[in-house]
C-alpha cells in the first residue's frame, strides 16, 4: 500500500470534495481516499500493484477538475488570489447595488415617473436585480451547468435555482401585478458572494501558516568536500554529508557535531529561551541558530525526515484529516442537494395544489432553496478546523487532528510548559547585587553591559537591554574574548573585566564563597546567576531569568474558574 497526496483545482464547495472522494473510493485498488475542500487536496491510500497514480488523477479530471502539479501550483496560487480579489469586488458591488433595491421594496417607495406602463422604481428593482443575479452571480449558474452536465447537483445548484426562481417569479409578478421579490434574489446573491470571499480568505490564512513554518528552515547549506567549502541548495544535502555552520547561521539539517563547540538557540523547536551548549558528539536540529563558534556537522536526517519537516507535516495533516463530525457532515451533504430539491418541489406542488395559489407555492419553494443555499453543514466544520489549526500554528500551538477539536470540550486538566508558554521566552535581568564598596547597582550594570555589548549570547542581550532601559552610557572595550559556554572577558579603562558563570570565576581564582547562600536562593527561583569581576575581584552578581507573560496569571485564573485544573512542568 502507498499513500500519496495531490492538489485538486476547481473545487467550489464541499459537495465537489464529496464527489471526487466517492469517485476515488470506487476505483479497484483504492483502500481509502480523503478529499479536503479546505486544503484543495486529496490523500489516497492505494495498492501500487493494481493501480497507478495517473489513474487516480484521471478519476478527478473526469469529474471536470484539475490535478495540480508542482509546476502549475504557483500559477494556480496566483489564480486563486486573483479569484479571491474578484469575489471581494463582486460581493462589494452586489451589496452596494442591492441597497437601493432593498430600500425601494421594503419601504414601498413609489417614484413619480413611469416607463412602458411600469413605475420607475419597479424598473430599477428589475434591472439591478437581474444584473446582480445573472452577471455578478454567474459563477453559481456556471457551477450548476457544469454539475448538471455530469448528472450531479451541488451547492451551486441550490444557489442558482433559488436566486433564478426569485428573479423569474418577480418578473412574472411584475407583469401580472403581484407582490415583487426582486430584493430577495439580489440580497441573497450578495450575501453568498460575501460568504465565499470570507471562506476563501480563511482558507488562504490557514495555508499561510504552513508556508511560514517552511520559511523557518535554511535555504542553502555549506558543504565540505575534498577540503573545499561551497554552498548547495538544501534539497541537495544527503545523509552523511559534512557541513560547516558558522556563527549566526541556521543549522540546515538534523545532524551530529563532528568538530567544534557552540551555543545553539533552539527556541523555535523547544521554546527554551536559554541557548543549549553543544559540543562534539551532540545532536543539532534543522532551523536552530548557531550563536557562536564554528561547527562541523554530519547530516543524519535530511528533507522530510528532519524534526522541523515532521512538525510541518503534522500541521498539514491536521488540516487534511477530517473530524468524525465532518465525516458525518460529508455523508449528509452527499445526498443533501437532491433531498432539498425534492422538498422544494413538494413544497411548491403542495401549496399550489392544496392552497390553490401558485404565488404562495413559488415563494415557499424558493424559501426552502434559499435557506439551504449557504450549506453551513458542509462548510462550517472544515473551515473551523482550517482556521483553528492555522491560527494555532502561528501562535506555536500544534493541533494533531480534527478530532482534537471535538475532544477539547471535555478537557479537565491543562498541563503548561513554563518557558515560552507562561513566560516570555526571553531572558531579562531580575536581580543586581553589589558586593564591593563604592559600586552602585547602575555602575555594576554599566560595566557588565560594556563587555556584553560585543556578545551575541541571549544572556548578554538581557544585560545590555537592562542598561539601555536605564539609559546608561557604555564605554569602549579592548581585547574582547568570548569564552564559549562560560562567559566573556576584556579590558575597560585599563581594568581586566570578567563576566560569566560562577564556575568560570572559580576557575579564574575569584572566590564567591561568602555569597553562596544568596546564589543558592536565586538558583532555586530558576534564575541563571552570573558574576562580574574587576581585576580579579568580585564586584557584582546578576540573576537572569525568563519573566512571566502579562496575561499568564489571568489565563491560569480563568481556567481554574472554569473548573479546569492547571499543572506546570
Query: Catalytic residue numbers?
Result: 417
The β-bridge relationship of strands 413-416 and 565-568 is parallel
Four-residue CA torsion sign, 408, 414, 419, 425: positive
Reported in sequence order, the residue ranges of 207-274 that DSSP labels E, i.e. its strands, are 220-225, 228-233, 242-245, 254-259, 262-265
The β-bridge relationship of strands 423-434 and 537-548 is antiparallel
Q: Strand pairing partners for 284?
A: 255
Tell which residue, 490, 266, 492, 279, has the closest CA to residue 500.
Answer: 490
Q: Strand pairing partners for 496?
A: 491
Dihedral angle, C-alpha 268, 273, 275, 281, nearest 10 ° = -50
Tell which residue, 241, 248, 242, 240, has the closest CA to residue 218.
Answer: 248
Helices (H) then strands (E): counts for the chain: 18, 23
Phi and psi for 144 in degrees, rounded to 5? -65, -45
* Order of all β-strands in the sheet with 276-278: 276-278, 262-265, 289-290
DSSP characters over 416-473: E-IIIIIEEEEEEEEEEEE-STT--HHHHHHHHHHHHTT---HHHHHHHHHHHHTTPP
Q: How many CB atoms lie within 10 A of CB 285?
A: 20
Q: How many CB atoms lie within 10 A of CB 181?
A: 21
Decide if 194 contacts 109 (C-beta within 8 A).
no
Tell which residue, 482, 468, 396, has the closest CA to residue 428.
Answer: 468
Decide if 246 contacts 222 (C-beta within 8 A).
yes
Q: How many CB atoms lie within 10 A of CB 191?
A: 16
Whole-number Å distance between alpha carbons of 201 and 57: 27
What's the chain's length in residues? 569
- The DSSP symbol for 216 reads T
Amino acid at each position: 500500500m502507498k499513500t500519496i497526496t495531490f492538489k485538486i483545482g476547481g473545487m467550489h464547495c464541499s459537495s465537489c470534495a464529496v464527489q471526487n472522494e466517492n469517485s476515488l473510493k470506487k476505483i479497484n485498488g483504492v483502500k481509502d481516499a480523503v478529499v479536503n475542500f479546505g486544503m484543495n487536496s486529496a490523500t489516497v491510500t492505494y495498492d501500487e500493484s493494481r493501480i497507478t497514480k495517473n489513474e487516480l488523477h484521471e478519476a478527478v479530471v473526469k469529474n471536470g477538475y484539475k490535478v495540480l502539479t508542482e509546476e502549475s501550483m504557483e500559477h494556480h496560487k496566483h489564480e486563486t488570489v486573483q479569484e479571491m480579489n474578484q469575489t471581494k469586488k463582486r460581493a462589494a458591488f452586489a451589496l452596494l447595488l442591492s441597497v437601493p433595491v432593498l430600500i425601494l421594496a421594503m419601504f414601498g417607495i413609489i417614484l413619480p415617473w413611469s416607463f412602458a406602463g411600469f413605475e420607475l422604481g419597479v424598473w430599477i428593482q428589475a434591472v439591478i436585480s437581474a444584473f446582480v443575479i445573472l452577471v455578478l452571480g454567474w459563477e453559481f449558474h456556471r457551477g450548476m451547468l457544469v454539475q448538471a452536465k455530469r448528472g450531479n447537483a451541488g451547492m451551486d445548484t441550490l444557489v442558482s435555482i433559488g436566486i433564478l426562481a426569485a428573479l423569474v417569479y418577480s418578473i412574472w409578478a411584475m407583469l401580472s401585478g403581484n407582490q415583487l421579490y426582486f430584493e430577495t434574489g439580489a440580497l441573497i446573491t450578495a450575501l453568498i458572494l460575501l460568504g465565499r470571499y470570507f471562506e476563501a480568505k480563511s482558507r488562504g490564512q490557514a495555508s499561510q501558516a504552513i508556508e511560514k513554518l517552511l520559511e523557518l528552515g535554511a535555504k542553502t547549506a555549506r558543504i565540505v568536500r575534498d577540503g573545499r567549502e561551497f554552498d548547495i541548495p538544501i534539497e541537495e544535502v544527503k545523509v552523511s554529508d559534512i557541513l560547516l555552520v558558522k556563527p549566526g547561521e541556521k543549522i540546515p539539517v538534523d545532524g551530529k557535531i563532528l568538530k567544534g563547540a557552540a551555543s545553539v538557540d533552539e527556541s523555535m523547536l523547544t521554546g527554551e529561551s536559554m541557548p543549549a551548549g553543544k559540543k562534539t558528539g551532540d545532536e543539532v536540529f534543522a532551523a536552530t541558530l548557531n550563536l557562536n563558534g564554528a561547527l562541523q556537522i554530519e547530516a543524519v536526517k535530511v528533507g522530510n525526515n528532519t524534526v522541523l519537516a515532521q512538525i510541518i507535516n503534522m500541521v498539514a495533516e491536521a488540516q487534511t484529516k477530517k473530524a468524525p463530525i465532518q465525516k458525518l457532515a460529508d455523508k449528509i451533504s452527499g445526498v443533501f442537494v437532491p433531498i432539498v430539491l425534492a422538498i422544494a418541489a413538494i413544497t411548491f406542488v403542495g401549496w399550489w395544489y392544496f392552497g390553490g395559489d401558485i404565488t404562495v407555492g413559488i415563494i415557499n419553494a424558493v424559501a426552502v432553496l434559499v435557506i439551504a443555499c449557504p450549506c453551513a453543514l458542509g462548510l462550517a466544520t472544515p473551515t473551523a478546523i482550517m482556521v483553528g489549526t492555522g491560527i494555532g500554528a502561528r501562535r506555536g500551538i500544534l493541533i494533531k487532528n480534527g478530532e482534537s477539536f471535538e475532544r477539547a470540550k471535555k478537557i479537565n486538566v491543562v498541563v503548561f510548559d513554563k518557558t515560552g508558554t507562561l513566560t516570555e521566552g526571553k531572558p531579562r535581568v531580575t536581580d543586581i547585587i553589589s558586593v564591593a564598596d563604592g559600586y552602585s547597582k547602575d555602575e555594576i550594570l554599566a560595566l557588565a553591559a560594556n563587555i556584553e555589548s560585543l556578545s551575541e549570547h541571549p544572556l548578554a542581550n538581557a544585560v545590555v537591554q537592562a542598561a539601555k532601559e536605564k539609559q546608561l552610557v557604555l564605554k569602549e572595550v579592548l581585547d574582547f574574548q568570548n569564552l564559549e559556554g562560560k562567559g566573556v572577558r576584556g579590558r575597560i579603562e585599563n581594568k581586566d573585566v570578567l563576566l560569566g558563570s560562577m564556575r568560570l570565576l572559580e576557575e579564574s581564582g575569584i572566590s564567591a564563597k561568602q555569597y553562596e547562600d544568596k546564589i543558592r536562593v536565586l538558583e532555586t527561583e530558576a534564575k541563571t546567576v552570573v558574576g562580574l569581576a574587576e581585576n580579579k575581584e568580585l564586584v557584582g552578581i546578576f540573576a537572569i531569568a525568563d519573566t512571566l507573560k502579562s496575561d499568564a496569571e489571568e489565563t491560569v485564573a480563568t481556567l481554574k474558574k472554569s473548573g479546569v485544573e492547571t499543572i506546570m512542568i
